[in-house]
């Protein structure tokens, strides 16, 4: 399985895996699966951290790459194809970070790990976190 973690799933996998539903946690921890973290997620974390809304044990530029490497996750950059796919998305959701994750999941054929009920309205595979 090829998984794309939303921001909450990413942060929970790093620091609070018990918050994940058992099926999502098992899929993330299964080394046969590819687990991807989008640059949209790291961007969102950096913004929230700077605003004081997401405390981390170290700065995001140290914490996130270290955890991504520690867990063997793959980095997914935002490409032109991903941004252009946004034009085809209905406006079920207004959060730009979630919308780009949906577009990335669609373009790359990934299963999005999220429990946001709005995302289930899109044509994308969802694994509830």
Q: CATH number, domain at 115?
A: 3.40.50.1010
| pLDDT (0 to 100) of residue 129 | 59
Quote the mean pLDDT of the chain: 95
pLDDT surpasses 80 at 42: yes
Distance CA 114, CA 112 (A): 6
Burial 58-92 (b: 16+ CB within 10 A, else e): eebeebbeebbeeeebeebeeeeebeebeeebeee
Q: What is the extent of the structural domain holding 52? A: 2-127
Q: Which range, 11-15, 117-121, 124-128, has the best average confidence (pLDDT)?
A: 11-15
Of all residues in the chain, the percent with pLDDT exceeding 90 is 88
pLDDT tens digits, one per residue of 67-93: 999 999 999 999 999 999 999 999 887
Task: Compute how many other C-beta atoms are within 10 angstroms of the C-beta atom of residue 107.
Answer: 14
Q: How many domains are there within the chain? A: 1
């Amino acid at each position: 399985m090829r998984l794309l973690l939303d921001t909450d799933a990413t942060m929970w996998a790093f620091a609070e895996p018990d918050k994940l539903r058992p099926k999502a946690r098992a899929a993330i921890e299964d080394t046969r699966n590819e687990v991807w973290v989008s640059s949209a997620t790291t961007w969102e974390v950096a913004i929230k951290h700077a605003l004081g809304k997401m405390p981390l044990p170290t700065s995001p530029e140290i914490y996130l790459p270290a955890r991504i490497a520690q867990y063997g996750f793959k980095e997914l950059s935002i490409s032109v194809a991903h941004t252009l796919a946004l034009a085809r998305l209905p406006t079920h959701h207004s959060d730009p970070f979630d919308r780009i994750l949906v577009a990335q999941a669609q373009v790359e054929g990934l299963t999005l790990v999220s429990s946001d009920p709005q995302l289930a309205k899109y044509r994308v595979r969802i694994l509830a976190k």
